[in-house]
Amino acid sequence: MTDEAAVLLRDDRADGVTVLTLNRPAQFNSLSLALLGELQLALDTIATTPAIRVVVIAGAGKAFCAGHDLREMRGTPEKAFMQKLFKAMARVCTTLQRLPQPVIARIHGVATAAGCQLVAACDLAVAADVARFGTSGINVGLFCTSPGVALSRNIGRKMAMEMLLTGGLIDAQTALARGLINRVVPADKLDEELAALVASITNKSPLAVGMGKRAFYEQLEMGVDAAYQLAAESMACNMMAADAAEGIDAFTEKRPPSWKGC
C-alpha cells in the first residue's frame, strides 16, 4: 500500500484522551513530509478542542519512530525541500510544547534521530524496557542538529553531545537516568502505566494544567528574575480562577473537586 492510499496518522479519541499513532509501520514510522503535515493538522485541531485533556503520541508496528524518511530525502535532493522538511518538523515540536494539553510519548520500540527528537519534544514519556533511543544521523554523514535542540533541553550537554557525535543507541534505563523519559516498565505493562499517568493528569483542573504548562516552557528561556516575575503573574492569575477556589474549598471540605475549566 502506498502512502497516498494509507492512513498515515491514526487519531483515536476516548474519555478526553487522544492517541495519535504514527502509521507507517513498514517504514518504521519514518517522518515523511506528508506524515508531518498530518500530525501538524491534528495538533492544530487539538489545540482548539478543550474536551481533549491529554494527547498521546504512539507508533504502529515494531518501532516508535526511526526519524526522517531517508529515501524521500535522497529522492528529493533540492535544498528547498530540505528546508521545508526540517521547518515542518520544528513546527510540530514547538506546537507540542505550546498545546494547552500535556503530551505523552508512548515508546514501545526504537526512537532514533527525529524520532528521538519527537520524544524529547513531548512533555512526558513512558517507555517499554525494550525501547532504544539515539541520534543516529551521524552514522550516515548527517549531524542531528535539529534533534539536538530538543535533546539538549532534556539532558545534560555532555550526554547530548555524546549521543550526537557517536550515533550510538542507549537503552530505556539509561534514557530514564539521563532525563529523556519519565518511566520504564516491562513491555506488557506499558499501556497500564500510561493509563495510570494519564489518569493522574485528567483528574486535575484543565485550566491550571494549561496555564502551568505554558508558563513552564516560557520561563525556561528566561533569566531567573524574569522567570520569577512571569511565574508570580501566572500564579496570581491562576488564583483568581474559579477552579482554584473550587480546588481549595474541596480540599478544606474533604471532598472531590468539581472542575469548571475557568
Tell me whether residue 181 is in a domain. yes
pTM of structure: 0.94
Which of these three, 202, 218, 243, is where a domain ends?
202
Domain boundaries, position 115 = 9-202
- From residue 242, alpha-carbon distances to 48, 99, 129, 215, 248 in Å are 21, 22, 41, 19, 10
- The model's pLDDT over 47-92, given as tens digits with 9 standing for 90+, comes to 999 999 999 999 999 999 999 999 999 999 999 999 999 999 999 9
Query: Average pLDDT, stretch 87-105?
Result: 97
- The model's pLDDT over 182-227, given as tens digits with 9 standing for 90+, comes to 999 999 999 999 999 999 999 999 999 999 999 999 999 999 999 9
Instruction: Kindly state whether residues 185 and 224 are assigned to the same domain.
Output: no
Instruction: Kindly state whether residues 246 and 119 are assigned to the same domain.
Output: no
Question: Which residue from 70, 94, 88 is spatially nearest to 33, judged by alpha carbons?
Answer: 88
DSSP state at residue 92 = H
Please state the domain count of the chain: 2
Read off the C-alpha cell for 63. 518501532
Residue 1 is predicted with a pLDDT of 43
Instruction: Kindly state whether residues 225 and 149 are assigned to the same domain.
Output: no
Helix and strand numbers (H, E) in the chain are 11, 9
